[in-house]
Structure 1
Amino acid sequence: MARSGISTRERIISAANALFYNDGIRGVSVDAVAEKAGVTKRTLYYHFRSKDDLVAAYLTGRDQPNLALFRQWFTKAEGGLPAKVEAIFRNLARSARHPKWKGCGFLRTSAELANMPGHPAIRIGAAHKKKFEEWLRATFEAEGIAEPLRLARQILLLLDGSFAVVLLHRDSSYMETAGEAAHALIEAALPAGKKRRGW
C-alpha cells in the first residue's frame, strides 16, 4: 500500500512539474494536474492538502536536481575557476535555445505569487537561491577570494538577471554575455598568485 502511495504521489508531482513549468501556477487547475497524473481529484487531495502544498512540492522537486546540474556543469568544464563558472551560463544558454524552455521555475513562481510573501513556494524558491549563493561563496572562499559572499551575490544577480532578459527577448546570447561578465569578475577577484598560474 505504501509503495502504491509513493508512486501515486510521484506521478502527481511529475504532472504538476510539467504543467506548472509550462503554463504557470495560476494557469493550471488542480483538475488539470489530476487529469494529467491519471488520478481523481479526491486522490490528489489525499496526497496534497491544497494547491499551495502541490506548488511547494513542485518546487521542492526541482531544488536538488537543479543544483546538482549546476555543479555538474561546473565540475566538467575545463579551465580554472572563472571558466568553470562561465560554463554554467553557457550550458544554460544552450538550454534556453530549446523551444520548451520557460526560464527559471523558481523566479517565475515567485513573480506569480509576489503578493503572497508568506507562501511556502516563495520560501522554497528563496532557499534554493540561497543554496546556490552559499555554494558559490564556499567555492570562492576556498580559492582565497577576499570577499567571497559579495562575489557570489554578484554572480547570482548576473544569473537571475540573464534568466529574466532571455525570457523577454528569446535571445540566449544575453546569458552568454552574463557568463563573460561573471568570468571577468571572478578573474579580477582571484589572488595574484592564482592568476599567474592561469586559474
Structure 2
Amino acid sequence: MPEAQSPTRKRIVDAATRLFYAEGIGRVSVDAVAEKAGLTKRTLYYHFKSKDDLIAAYLDGRDQPNLKRMAGWFEADQGGVDSKVEAIFANLAVAARHPKWKGCGFLRTAAELASMPGHPAVKVGSRHKSNFEAWLAGALSGHGIEEPEVVAREIVLLIDGSFSIMLIHRNPDYIEAAGRAAATLVRARTPDRD
C-alpha cells in the first residue's frame, strides 16, 4: 500500500487539518497533532520527516476537494456562464457564514509563511491556485468566453481579494459583491449570440 494511502498517515493529516485550519500552522505543535491523532510523536515523524512536510500534506489534502467543490457549484448552476461564476462566490459566502469558517487555508498558510517562499506548503498553495485558475479558464473557454485566461485571472483576484477582506471584516457580503463583479466581467467578454 502506498504511503499516501496509509490509514495512519491519513489519521495524522486529518488531525493536522482540523488543528491547522482552526488555529493556524504557527500555533499548532507537532505534539498537538500527534495527540489529536492518538499517536506518538515518533509515529508522526515516521510518516513525515518534518512539520513542514506535514503542513504541505495538510494543504495537499485540501487541493482536489476544494477544486471539485467549486467545479460542482459552477456545473450545478442552471443559468448562463455569468451565473455559474457568480454561483461559486454565492456558495463561498454560504460557507463563510458558518461559525467555524476561518478563510482560505491556502492564503492563511501563505501569509504565515510569507518570509519563506520556498516552503513546501507555499508551493502546494501556488499549485492549487494555478490549478483552479487553469480549470476556470478551461470552463470559461468551453462557454465561448473571449480571453478566458485573462478573465479567469481577474476572477481569481476577486475571490482571493474577497477572502482577504472577509478575514478582516468577517462579513461575507464582500464575496457576494465580488461575485457580482465577476459576473459583470464574464458578461463583458461574452460574444454576442445572434
When normalised by structure 1's length, the TM-score is 0.94
Deviations 1:72-128 (A, max 9, x none): 111111201000110000000000001110000000000000100100101100000
**What amino acid is aligned across from residue 178 of structure 1 in structure 2?**
A
Matches for 1:120-199 after TM superposition, within 5 Å: 120-193=120-193
- SS, match of residue 116 in structure 1: coil
Q: Is 1:8 aligned to 2:8, yes or no?
A: yes
| Distance apart, 1:2 and its partner CA | 7.9
Considering only aligned residues, what root-mean-square deviation do their CA atoms show, in Å?
1.5
CA distance in 1, matches of 2:138, 2:2: 39
**Structure 2 unaligned residues grouped into runs of 5+:** none
Q: Percent identity?
A: 61
Matches for 1:38-187 after TM superposition, within 5 Å: 38-187=38-187
**Structure 1 unaligned residues grouped into runs of 5+:** none
| Distance apart, 1:142 and its partner CA | 2.1
Matches for 1:16-31 after TM superposition, within 5 Å: 16-31=16-31
**What amino acid is aligned across from residue 64 of structure 1 in structure 2?**
Q
Q: Aligned pair count?
A: 193
- SS, match of residue 103 in structure 2: coil
| Distance apart, 1:144 and its partner CA | 2.4
- SS, match of residue 192 in structure 1: coil
Deviations 1:2-24 (A, max 9, x none): 89x81111110000000000100
